Chain A
Amino acid sequence: MALVLQPRREPSKAMVWAAPVIAVLATLIVGALLFTALGYDGFGAVNAIFIQPLLNSNRWQDLLVKAAPLTLIATGLAVGFRANVWNIGAEGQYVFGALAATGIALLTLDMQGLWILPAMVVAGVLGGMVYASVPAFLRVRLGVNEILSSLMLNYVAVQLLFYLMRGPWRDPMGFGFPQTAMFSLDQTLPRVIPGTLIHLGVPVALAAALTMWFLMARTLAGFQVRVVGAAPQAARFAGFRETRVVWMSFLIGGGLAGMAGTFEVSGPFGQMVPTFPVGYGFTAIIVAFLGRLHPLGIVAAALVLALTYVGGESAQTTVGLPAAAVGVFQAMLLFFLLGSDILVRYRLVRKGAPPARALPVTASPATRAVPGAAE
């Protein structure tokens, strides 16, 4: 007797949207049990990570600041995921975009003017796009699997960051620390609410998600992306070119990741440091799927994942959880999401028990030839 998955006739619409909620709840429960079993205060940990930041209004700004880059990156990735273009390289595009913006910042350290920050943003977006066009080119022209190429390029970008921090871009006045000079005021992302940490990146991320919603739902370009993802042959029938959609997916994904990188380096960080990559590019993949690839769902999902960052930090001090616990919770979330998604589309059934009665075996041996003369 075995359990097999049987496709459901039609997945329930409600369950498609309930699955992320179920995944979050399962993560909380299993996470609490797991860390209890490991000898920590598991329920305290879940409380510290997922509940306390919500109750403490001082932490809300932290949530928004962490959710902004996740929203930007996930919004861009979701375009590609809709089209079956698997850009796993957002972390690298995020770093590369931030490096491009940092380059402008280092060139303009002694200058003044309102144009400097916009120039950094443009450089950051272009940097992300340039970095994303490598796997795009490889896939379109040479048929290279973009999952592998974009994934591996993440590590290249991080190594480039390390090199620049230790060598060419190291702050000469920085006592030998591997980091750049602090950015000037004109290079720093302004706060939108004075007295808080909430910077311009927060409303921009929300605007980006809303814009993408419109683009995907209402424009021909968004429709092309959806058709290419759902049925590539039908896309050709409709006159849509897959290569164009692949390029578009990578450029949007890379561009938004680069923008997020620019906002981080010019906002919360205020300089480039080797610890700049914190995995937003990978976490954004979870955000995109938890948000059902829908721009508004992504905003909500980004807030949930931002919780794991914000709460994870405080749980290290209050419950004494290791830093890796955040990664465990994020991974569990993705695991339970994928699991519930499977059960939304399939049902689990017991495969036929072997017949209780013995079969009347009357036929001749199956391998003998010469058919016919049965009687």
Chain B
Amino acid sequence: MPARLELSGITKRFPGVVANEAVSFAVQPGTIHALLGENGAGKSTLVKIIYGVQRADEGTVSIDGRAVDIGSPKAARALGVAMVFQHFSLFEAMTVLENIALGMDDPPPASALEAEVRRVLDTYGLSLDPHRDVHTLSVGERQRIEIVRALLQRPKLLIMDEPTSVLTPQEVEQLFGTLRQLADSGCSILYISHKLNEIKALCASATILRGGKVVAQCDPRAETARSMAELMIGGSLKDLSVKAGRSFGSERFAVSRLSAPGEPPFGTSLKDISFSVRSGEIFGIAGVAGNGQNELLAVISGERREGVSGEIRLEGRPIEGLSVSDRRRAGLASVPEERNGHAAVPGMTLTENALLSARAKKGLSAKGILRFGAARDYAGAVIKAFGVKATGPGATAGSLSGGNLQKFIMGREICQEPAVLVVSQPTWGVDAGAASFIRQSMIDLVAKGAAIVVVSQDLDELLELCDRLAVLNEGRLSEPMAVQTISVERVGLLMGGVHGAHDADADTAPRAA
């Protein structure tokens, strides 16, 4: 039997970069094949070529042994290729069914479509109400819409792009169940990810990309996560210096009974949030995106003060009435999730970006006049201390890769030696090398007595970094849990909105929130 999908010698060049160079691999019928690589390894470009969004400069794509020319996503769908994108394209104010109809080339009448949708849902045991408005759905449910959309096409090959980055552990398990069932029925799945444990659990074969080239083909079940990671980054991973033996001092930062309205139109309001962090401690806030993380960050940093009630104390001193700049002077540093346009201005130089948040503490402006010399020196010092790959302080923030910009932003805050650092998604979209550097720098900061609050969707990261963590769901924060004794299953249930009545034991009787 010919391979379901076979790529041979695919090359794609963009001005200045070769995104894919002579990439060849094959996906057999009914198998789940992983495409593995760091950000920038060329996974996305390759997938876009298979799905007809872009054209290869060289090489051929064959489906079921026949060379095909895929000129558009529509042509790809006609060939039986379906794709679930990482970022959903859904209209929040419309129903599930309306969204599905909008995504079809030639939608049948609503009643016929609903029957077909329900059949797909039944076949794969997916729970989803076709008549719900999308903005009322969880991220996992939204993803199911995209999956149903894809399955309605009776695909022979389904491409999944980083599908689990926004799911709770339980939702991931459900998704895997669906994908395995789909594979058993003969559909091939190309599974794109950089989460190695998931790939080991799900995939029978894997292609690893680095710098646009295939560096290895392997059976993930026979590899360790570490060996695949090393193939992916092309070097050996550095272990984080042990976090055990950290000693905690007095309370540095405390939030009590904090409430705030959500960002319009569908934002999540914060409800009665309380937690405290001690000197030397890293406190994690887990949760699926869109459960109030951005609101919490903005309220703590002082970017949002309207309608906020409750207390924020830094070393015992109330700071909820202070402006962003005054909070910084008091020793609070923050790093928002979005790098471009929030933590940094892409069109400005690193020197100018240093001015954004380090003015007061580093004396980069005096009496309303900017001290560019001092700002340049500080930006240079951050670049050096954090190993930022940039042409110098005069490079624009937008010219840096995601990982390097994140290193610069983290460095800009950490080099100010804040008493408290609040950071959201510190390693989101950052390559493994930079991620481990950033984590280490946070560990070093608390070793000097600071307190850190990390908001992240990456549970593995929180478990690795944090001493205690709590889960944010629909704007409410759970009780903090010590990481050493934590049950991942319970965290997952909390992330999914199931609040167990008591302690973190096997008490998993689901009670919908």
CB-CB contacts below 8 Å: A333-375 with B: 352, 354-355, 357, 359-364, 366-375
Q: B198 within 8 Å of A by Cβ? A: no
Q: A115 within 8 Å of B by Cβ? A: no
**Contact in complex: A366, B106 (CB < 8 Å):** yes
Query: Which of A90-98, A215-223, A278-286 contacts its partner?
Result: A215-223
Contact of A373 among B107, B185, B303, B356 (CB under 8 A): B185
**Interface bin, chain A:** 35 or more
Query: Chain B 354-377 against A: per-residue CB contact (8 Å), 1 yes, 0 no?
Result: 011101000001001110100000
Query: Chain A 165-190 against B: per-residue CB contact (8 Å), 1 yes, 0 no?
Result: 00000000000000000000000000
**Contact in complex: A366, B117 (CB < 8 Å):** no
Q: B387 within 8 Å of A by Cβ? A: no
**Contact in complex: A236, B106 (CB < 8 Å):** no
Query: Which of A68-76, A195-203, A226-234 contacts its partner?
Result: A226-234
**Contact in complex: A236, B303 (CB < 8 Å):** yes
**Contact in complex: B370, A237 (CB < 8 Å):** no
**Contact in complex: B182, A372 (CB < 8 Å):** yes
**Contact in complex: B345, A231 (CB < 8 Å):** yes
B365: chain A residues at CB < 8 Å are 220
**Contact in complex: B324, A239 (CB < 8 Å):** yes
Q: A25 within 8 Å of B by Cβ? A: no
B85 to chain A, nearest CB (A): 18
**Contact in complex: B345, A230 (CB < 8 Å):** yes
Main secondary structure of the interface of B (DSSP, over half): loop
B458: chain A residues at CB < 8 Å are none
B357 to chain A, nearest CB (A): 6
Given contacts A364-B154, A370-B120, contact A220 B68 (CB under 8 A): no
Given contacts A234-B344, A373-B185, contact A359 B338 (CB under 8 A): no
Contact of A372 among B72, B108, B154, B369 (CB under 8 A): B154
A370: chain B residues at CB < 8 Å are 116, 119-120, 123, 154
**Contact in complex: B105, A366 (CB < 8 Å):** yes
- Residue in B75, B115, B117 whose Cβ sees the most chain A Cβ within 10 Å: B75
B502: chain A residues at CB < 8 Å are none
**Contact in complex: B71, A359 (CB < 8 Å):** yes
> Which chain B residue lies CB-closest to A8?
B15
Given contacts A239-B324, A368-B154, A371-B154, contact A223 B355 (CB under 8 A): yes
Contact of A234 among B72, B80, B345 (CB under 8 A): B345
- Residue in A231, A236, A362 whose Cβ sees the most chain B Cβ within 10 Å: A231
**Contact in complex: A234, B324 (CB < 8 Å):** no
Given contacts A220-B368, A230-B345, contact A239 B352 (CB under 8 A): no
B167 to chain A, nearest CB (A): 21
CA distance A269 to B365 in the complex (A): 44
B289 to chain A, nearest CB (A): 17
**Contact in complex: B66, A360 (CB < 8 Å):** yes
A367 to chain B, nearest CB (A): 5
Q: B104 within 8 Å of A by Cβ? A: yes
CA distance A368 to B341 in the complex (A): 44
CA distance A355 to B348 in the complex (A): 42
Q: B482 within 8 Å of A by Cβ? A: no
B213 to chain A, nearest CB (A): 22
**Contact in complex: A366, B29 (CB < 8 Å):** no
**Contact in complex: B328, A239 (CB < 8 Å):** yes
CA distance A223 to B357 in the complex (A): 13
Q: A141 within 8 Å of B by Cβ? A: no
**Contact in complex: A374, B186 (CB < 8 Å):** yes
**Contact in complex: A218, B369 (CB < 8 Å):** yes
Given contacts A234-B341, A352-B71, contact A367 B152 (CB under 8 A): yes
Query: Chain A 1-20 against B: per-residue CB contact (8 Å), 1 yes, 0 no?
Result: 00000000110000000000
Q: A134 within 8 Å of B by Cβ? A: no
> Which chain B residue lies CB-closest to A237?
B342
> Which chain A residue lies CB-closest to B104?
A367
A231: chain B residues at CB < 8 Å are 341-342, 345-346
A355: chain B residues at CB < 8 Å are 69, 71, 75
Q: A238 within 8 Å of B by Cβ? A: yes
> Which chain A residue lies CB-closest to B16?
A9
Q: B187 within 8 Å of A by Cβ? A: yes
**Contact in complex: A234, B343 (CB < 8 Å):** yes
A227: chain B residues at CB < 8 Å are 345, 348, 356
**Contact in complex: B69, A374 (CB < 8 Å):** no
Seed contacts A233-B338, A239-B323, A367-B105; 10 additional CB < 8 Å A-B pairs: A220-B365, A223-B370, A227-B356, A234-B344, A237-B334, A366-B78, A368-B116, A371-B123, A372-B151, A372-B185
Taking Cβ atoms with an 8 Å cutoff, the residues of B that contact A are: 15-16, 29, 55, 64, 66, 68-69, 71-72, 75, 77-80, 104-108, 115-117, 119-120, 123, 151-156, 182, 185-187, 301-303, 323-325, 328, 334, 336, 338, 341-348, 352, 355-357, 359, 365, 368-370, 372, 399
